Structure 1
Amino acid sequence: MFFRWDWLRPQLAAPIVPALGPVHPDALAVGIFEDALRAADTGEFLPYDKDRRWGGEKDEKILREDVVHQPEHTLIPTLTRRGHGTVKVFAYGPNDSVVEEAAELAAKLAAAHDVATARVVRPLGPGTTHPRGTRIHLKDFTTGPCPDPGGPVRPVADWPVTVQNTFAPFAQAMAGDGLAFLHTRMQAGQCGPVLAAAVEDRTVGAIGPLEVLPDAVGRPHLMPQYFAVLPEARGRGLGRILWRAAMHWGQSHGAAYQLLQTELDGPSDRLCQAEGLTSLGFTHTASV
């Protein structure tokens, strides 16, 4: 076993695993970190990796030989060749000095692997006084019903063709929120259903894909979705209706929970807080 859990566990301010992302606190164990290391050797997706639904090969991999694992802190670097390439160093530890050491390691590894970007990822606890970056939310489907909110929301394929034909320009307009990527997957038939909101026969919002898969301990969870509403259509409650419709779908299809990441103080973050989701902490990513 590579990691000592008695060293690593006290350093985990938020349940983030390199190359995997947020995990449920009940699934946070030394085994999931060991699995991520083994995946770096094989190049294959882990069975519970959220990215395996897109097919292909796992792009982000842990740089196993460069991991720093000590009683006071742990640094876990990852490498992706996507675009011009990125090295991230996940900095686990209570002291701010861990960020400086992580930044030095990220810069060194970016140069060694000839990639353009070096970053430090710092998990922060839910009680952080002045958090930055993204918040990790937990939606627990076992605590109460998620009723169908109704409204002008239905799967894209269930809308009339006139509305379906407006999805492509909507997706392109919201490319920055991942909707253009999602649309390519929809066209290739490589993802679950996507819910769309339409007003006057025009797509103005969407959330998806909707898929339930088992996590590292076998609990079914609703996978993360892309979620966006056109700026000119905001303020009408459509985002809340879309989100609630997705939660209704997830609960109806047996999901026990969902983990969401939102930009701090952004519209989705405010929505999740208003809906009573549990905050599990934050992640702050900084370029070196």
Structure 2
Amino acid sequence: MFFRWDWLRPQLTAPIVPTLGPVHPDALTLDIFEDILRAADTGDFLPYDKDQRWGGEKDEKVLREIVVHQPEHTLVPTLTRRGRGTVKVFAFGLRDSVVKEAAELATELAARHDVAGARVVRPLGPEIENPRGTRIQLKDFSASPCPAPDGPVRPVTAWPAAVQSAFAPFAESMAADGLAFLHTQMQAGRCGPVLATTIGDRIVGAIGPMEVRADAIGRPQLMPQYFAVLPEARGKGIGRILWRAAMHWGQSHGAAYQLLQTEVGGPSDRLCRSEGLASLGFSRMTHV
């Protein structure tokens, strides 16, 4: 074992694991941190890694030999070669001074590995005031029923042909939200169903893919989705209808929960807060 749980556990103010992202609090164990170190040696996906849906090899890897693990703070650097490359240093610790040390390490490692980006990721607990960054939210499907929403939401493949053909231009117009990438996965048959809603024969919003997979402790998790509504169609409750349809699908297909990441104060954040999701903490990323 590399990590000491009596050191690490008090430092974990939010359930974030390097290379994996947010995890259910019940899955936040010593084993999951040891697993990411083993994956750094092999380059393989962990069986419960959500990113294995999109490729054959894990892009982001822990720089195992550089990990700093001490009683009051832990620094876990990762490297990705995607684009011009990025080093991230995950800074676990209760003292704010951990950010400075992480920034220095990120800068040094970015130069050593000749990559353009250097970032610090600081997990923060749900109790902090004036949060910034990304909020981690939990939808617990055992807490209450998720009825089907009032509104025309169907899988893209269940719409008439004229509507299905409208998905491609919709996806292209929402490429910044990942819909163009999602469309390529749909065309290749590499993902689950995508739910869409329309005005007339025009698709104006979509969420997907809809997939349930086991997490690190074997609980069925509704996997993260891409989610977009055309700008001119916003403000009409379409996003809420789509989101509720996705939650209904997840509960109906046996998911125990879903984790969502939302930009603090953004439309999705406000939607999830109004729907009563539990806030598990925050992730604050700093460019250095």
TM-score range, shorter chain: over 0.9
| Unaligned 5+ runs, structure 2 | none
- Once the two structures are superposed, what CA deviation does each residue of 1:252-282 show, in whole Å capped at 9, x if it has no partner? 0000000000011100000000000000000
1:28-69 superposed Cα distances (whole Å, 9 cap, x missing partner): 000000001101100100010000112310000000001010
Contact preservation (8 Å) 1:90, 1:121: yes
Alignment-mate amino acid for residue 238 of structure 1: I
Q: Which amino acid is 1:271 matched to?
A: L
Per the normalisation by structure 1, the TM-score is 0.99
Aligned to 1:260: 260
CA distance in 1, matches of 2:208, 2:236: 20
Taking the aligned partners of 2:180 and 2:286, their CA distance within structure 1 comes to: 26
Q: Does 1:55 align with 2:61?
A: no
Q: Which runs of 5+ in 1 are unaligned?
A: none
C-alpha distance in structure 2 between counterparts of 1:86 and 1:161, whole Å: 42
SS of structure 2 residue aligned to 1:189? coil
Supply the distance in 2 between the matched residues of 1:49 and 1:100 (Cα, whole angstroms): 30
Tell me if structure 2 keeps the 8 A contact 1:124–1:282: yes
CA contact (8 A) 1:121 1:283 kept: yes
Q: How many equivalent pairs are there? A: 288
- Distance in 1 separating the partners of 2:282 and 2:142: 24
Identity %: 78
Partner of 1:196: 196
| Paired amino acid for 1:67 | V
Distance in 2 separating the partners of 1:12 and 1:186? 37
Match of 2:37 in 1: 37
1:26 aligns with 2:26: yes
Partner of 2:172: 172
Deviating more after overlay: 144-153 vs 35-44 = 144-153
Give the deviation of 1:108 after TM superposition: 0.5
Q: Return the alpha-carbon distance in structure 2 between the equivalents of residues 135 and 10 of structure 1.
A: 20
Task: State the match for 2:214 in structure 1.
Answer: 214
The CA RMSD over aligned residues, in Å, is 0.6
CA deviation digits over 1:238-262, x for unaligned, max 9? Answer: 1000000000000000000000000
Q: Using structure 2 for the length normalisation, give the TM-score.
A: 0.99
Quote the residue 2:14 is aligned against. 14
Counterpart-to-counterpart distance in 2, 1:12 and 1:172? 39
Aligned mates of 1:163, 1:245 — CA distance in 2: 18
Tell me the CA shift for residue 164 of structure 1: 1.0
2:172 aligned partner, one-letter code: Q
- Counterpart secondary structure, 1:224: coil
Q: Secondary structure at the match of 1:46?
A: coil
Cα distance, 1:150 vs structure 2: 3.4
